[in-house]
C-alpha cells in the first residue's frame, strides 16, 4: 500500500490538525473506487468527537466482503449509498476494537481507558476513529481486543438472521452454507446456542474447523451436494448461494425458512436479482424465502457480548495484517475463501 499525505478522508478533524506540528494519525485512505491498490497509507488529522461521540484509539479492525465491495464500488448500486463518483468516506472499514481515548460531553456510559468494540460508519482502518457512543460496548473480560474486532458486523448478521428472521427454536434443524466463513462461523455457534441441530457445509480443508465450532453434522461440498440428499431442514442460512434457489428449496421443509445471504451477484445490481426472485417465489409457497439486510443495533451488540463472555461464541480469525498492509487484507477477503475473519492490527 503506497504512502501519501492527505488533509482529510471524510473526518471532522481536531482543531488545528491541518497546521504544522498538529496531531496526526495513520490511515488507509482511498480517493476513488477500484481494486485494493487504490488504498494509500496517509497521514491525516485525528478526528474530534462530538457531544455524543467517543474517540477510540483503534487496536484492531476487521474487514469483510462488504468492505471489499464498497472499496471497488461494485455492484454499482452501492454507489447510491456510499458516493456516486467516489467514496463519501475515504477510510474503509466498519468494525473496530480499541481503547477509549476521549468522550464527548454527553457521553456517560463509557470512560477513557476502557476497552470497547463496535462499529463506525466513518471508517476504522486508522489509528483513531470517532464513533457514536451507542455504537460501542465494553470488551468482555475474557476477550482480547484482536478477537473483539472480529465480531460486530458478521456476528450481528448471523444473530439477526437466525433469531429475528428464522426464529430458530430448540430442536430445529439448521443448515449453514459457507460455515467456515465470517458469518458462517458465527452462525454455527449461535444456532447451537439457540439449541438447534446444526449442519455446516464447507470445503474439505475446513471440515475439522466447522466441527470444532459445534456443528452436529458437516458436509464437504466437494464430495456431497447437500441439495441431493434426503435430509430436510427447518432453516437454511445460505452464505454462498452456489446452488439455484429451486435446488436449495428442495432441501427445505414445507414450512421452512431460507435466508439467502450472499453479497455476490452482477456488477450492476449485485444480489438484488436473487433477492427479488426469492421474494416473488415466497408469495407462491408455504416456505419462507427471506433475504434481509442486517442493521447494527446496540442491544444486539450487548447480546453478542454476553454470548462471548459465556464462551458460547468464539471468534475465528484466519489472518492478521498490519495497517500498512490493509490493501493485502482486502485483496485476500476479495478471493471469497477466508476461514473466519480477517483482522487488521493498528
What pLDDT does residue 280 have?
A: 56
Residues 96, 173, single domain; the answer is no
Find the CATH number of the domain harbouring 273. Answer: 3.40.50.720
Residues 229, 175, single domain; the answer is yes
Residue with cell 483513531: 128
Residues 263, 222, single domain; the answer is yes
Is the residue at 49 inside a domain? Answer: yes
Distances in Å between the alpha carbon of 100 and those of 60, 109, 115, 127? 13, 11, 6, 12
What pLDDT does residue 293 have?
A: 78
Is the residue at 304 inside a domain? Answer: no
CA distance 165 to 187: 13
Is the residue at 181 inside a domain? Answer: yes
- 77, three cell numbers: 448500486
Neighbours of 184 (CB within 10 A): 29
Residues 243, 339, single domain; the answer is no
Residues 97, 205, single domain; the answer is no
Residues 28, 138, single domain; the answer is yes
What pLDDT does residue 284 have?
A: 52
**Bond prior to 225 in cis (omega within 30° of 0):** no
CA distance 324 to 120: 20
Residues 341, 228, single domain; the answer is no
Neighbours of 331 (CB within 10 A): 17
- Residue where a domain terminates, one of 245, 271, 289: 289
CA distance 2 to 9: 16
Is the residue at 21 inside a domain? Answer: yes
Q: How many residues does the chain have?
A: 346
Residue 137 in contact with residue 110, Cβ under 8 Å?
no
- Domain of residue 196: give its range: 153-289
* pTM, 2 dp: 0.88
CA distance 202 to 220: 5
CA distance 346 to 126: 7
Residues 111, 163, single domain; the answer is no
Is the residue at 45 inside a domain? Answer: yes
Is the residue at 223 inside a domain? Answer: yes
Residue 330 in contact with residue 92, Cβ under 8 Å?
yes
CA distance 210 to 188: 8
Is the residue at 300 inside a domain? Answer: no
What pLDDT does residue 13 have?
A: 43
Number of domains in the chain: 2
Residues 197, 143, single domain; the answer is no
- CA geometry: angle 48, 62, 56, nearest 5 deg: 20
Find the CATH number of the domain harbouring 65. Answer: 3.90.180.10
Residues 117, 75, single domain; the answer is yes
Q: Pick out the chain residues at pLDDT < 50.
A: 7, 9-21, 268-270
**pLDDT tens digits, one per residue of 62-112:** 999 999 998 988 867 766 776 678 887 899 999 999 999 999 999 999 999
| Side-chain half-sphere CA neighbours of 70 within 13 A | 21
| Side-chain half-sphere CA neighbours of 22 within 13 A | 15
User: How many helices (H) and strands (E) in the chain?
Assistant: 10, 16
Residues 141, 160, single domain; the answer is no
Amino acid at each position: 500500500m503506497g504512502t501519501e499525505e492527505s488533509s482529510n478522508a471524510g473526518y471532522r478533524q481536531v482543531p488545528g490538525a491541518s497546521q504544522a506540528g498538529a496531531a496526526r494519525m495513520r490511515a488507509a485512505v482511498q480517493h476513488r473506487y477500484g481494486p485494493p491498490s487504490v488504498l494509500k497509507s496517509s497521514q491525516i488529522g485525528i478526528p474530534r468527537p462530538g457531544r455524543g461521540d467517543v474517540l477510540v484509539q483503534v487496536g484492531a479492525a476487521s474487514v469483510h466482503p462488504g468492505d471489499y465491495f464498497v472499496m471497488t464500488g461494485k455492484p454499482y448500486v452501492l454507489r447510491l449509498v456510499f458516493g456516486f463518483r467516489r467514496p463519501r468516506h475515504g477510510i474503509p472499514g466498519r468494525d473496530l476494537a480499541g481503547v477509549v481515548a476521549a468522550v464527548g460531553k454527553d457521553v456517560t456510559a463509557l470512560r477513557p481507558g476502557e476497552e470497547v468494540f463496535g462499529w463506525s460508519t466513518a471508517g476504522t482502518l486508522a489509528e483513531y476513529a470517532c464513533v457514536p457512543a451507542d455504537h460501542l460496548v465494553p470488551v468482555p473480560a475474557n476477550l482480547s481486543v484482536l478477537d473483539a474486532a472480529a465480531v460486530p458486523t458478521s456476528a450481528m448478521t448471523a444473530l439477526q438472521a437466525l433469531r429475528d428472521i428464522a426464529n430458530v427454536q430448540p430442536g430445529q434443524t439448521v443448515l449453514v452454507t459457507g460455515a467456515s466463513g465470517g458469518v458462517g462461523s458465527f452462525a454455527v455457534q449461535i444456532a447451537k446456542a439457540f439449541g438447534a441441530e446444526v449442519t455446516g457445509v464447507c470445503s474439505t480443508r475446513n471440515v475439522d474447523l466447522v466441527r470444532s465450532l459445534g456443528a452436529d453434522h458437516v458436509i464437504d461440498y466437494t464430495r456431497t451436494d447437500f441439495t441431493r440428499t434426503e435430509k430436510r431442514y427447518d432453516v437454511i442460512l445460505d452464505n454462498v448461494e452456489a446452488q439455484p434457489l429451486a435446488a436449495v428449496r428442495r432441501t427445505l421443509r414445507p414450512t421452512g425458512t431460507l435466508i439467502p445471504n450472499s453479497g455476490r451477484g452482477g456488477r450492476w445490481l449485485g444480489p438484488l436479482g436473487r433477492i427479488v426472485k426469492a421474494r416473488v417465489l415466497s408469495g407462491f409457497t408455504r416456505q419462507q424465502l427471506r433475504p434481509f439486510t442486517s442493521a447494527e443495533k446496540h442491544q444486539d451488540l450487548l447480546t453478542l457480548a454476553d454470548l462471548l463472555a459465556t464462551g458460547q461464541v468464539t471468534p475465528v480469525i484466519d489472518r492478521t495484517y498490519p495497517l500498512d498492509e490493509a490493501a493485502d487484507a482486502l485483496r485476500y477477503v476479495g478471493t471469497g475463501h477466508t476461514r473466519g475473519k480477517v483482522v487488521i492490527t493498528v
